[in-house]
Amino acid sequence: MSVVRTRMRYWAQLFSIVILVSSGHFAWPSRADAAERCEHTGTAKVISPNAQWVIRVYGETCDLGLTSSASVKVDLALAAPGSSAVSILSIDMPSDKLQWPRPKWESSSRIVIQVPSNANVALQMASFKNVNIELRFCPGGLAEHAAWSTYRSEYHKWVQDLAAWGKLRAQDPGTPLPKPAAPIPPQALQADASCER
């Protein structure tokens, strides 16, 4: 009897949500609302040698309602007051602040940004208004970064395979299928001599 009541309660709640959405009394949060639910931490600034540009590195944690996001962003803007910034790099938030991107001006028109080889890069610009932007993956360079990208793809596939295997086992506990093996993360390669500690 309790199962019937639970199902009835579920359908009543679902029906209420449908009525609320269709009546126009419910609205998804606007971009402005979403921006207000983001917190910026650990801001660092690096000024170009000619003092024309400013790089800003900061952590951004956003409450998206049912989920949240955490990233580290690198913005570039003219040093003039009121200039709007553009994001030139965004990576998933590392567990250690020592792994945050480290931008360095090699000249007034070239930025090299050191990021961990295992960084999940969400956004990367190659240049902006005659300023060239280069990523340096440390410690193992581009080869190690590619190995981590492959590992992430294999890991997501493994999670899906594991869920499918679990579902099969629940339906038929005697199924002879072996449990999918988890992928192995890449081993750290030799440190690139250009990496800063």
Instruction: Please check whether residue 147 is in contact with residue 187, taking contact to mean a CB–CB distance below 8 angstroms.
Output: no
Whether residues 84 and 51 fall in one domain: yes
Q: Are residues 24 and 112 in the same domain?
A: no
Do 15 and 61 sit in the same domain of this protein? Answer: no
Instruction: Say if residue 15 is in the same domain as residue 53.
Output: no
Question: Does 56 lie in the same domain as 121?
Answer: yes
Q: Which of 162, 163, 154 is nearest to 184 (CA)?
A: 154
54 and 123 co-located in one domain: yes
Q: How far apart are CA 16 and CA 21, in angstroms?
A: 9
In this structure, the answer to whether residues 100 and 145 fall within a common structural domain is no
* Average pLDDT per consecutive 10 residues, the chain (197 residues; last block may be shorter): 49 48 46 63 86 89 79 88 86 82 89 84 82 83 76 84 87 83 74 56
Does the predicted TM-score (pTM) go above 0.75?
no
Which residues touch 42 (CB under 8 Å, ≥6 apart)?
A: 57, 58, 59, 97, 100
15 and 92 within one domain: no
Which of the listed residues 135, 150, 169 is the one where a domain comes to its end?
135
Position 197 scores a pLDDT of 55
- Please tell me whether residues 191 and 126 are part of one structural domain: no
Residues 103/113, Cβ–Cβ less than 8 Å = yes
Tell me the β-bridge partners of 113. 103, 135
Q: What's the structural domain count of the chain?
A: 3
Give pLDDT, residue 177. 83
Which residues constitute the domain of residue 176? Answer: 139-197
Query: Which residues, 6+ apart, have CB-to-CB distance to 142 below 8 Å?
Result: none
**Residue 39 structure tokens:** 């917190």
* 71 and 102 share one domain: yes
**pLDDT confidence of residue 105:** 92
Lookup: tokens for 104:
């360095």
Boundary residue ending a domain (111, 135, 159): 135
d(CA 135, CA 133): 7
Q: How far apart are the first and last CA of the chain?
A: 65
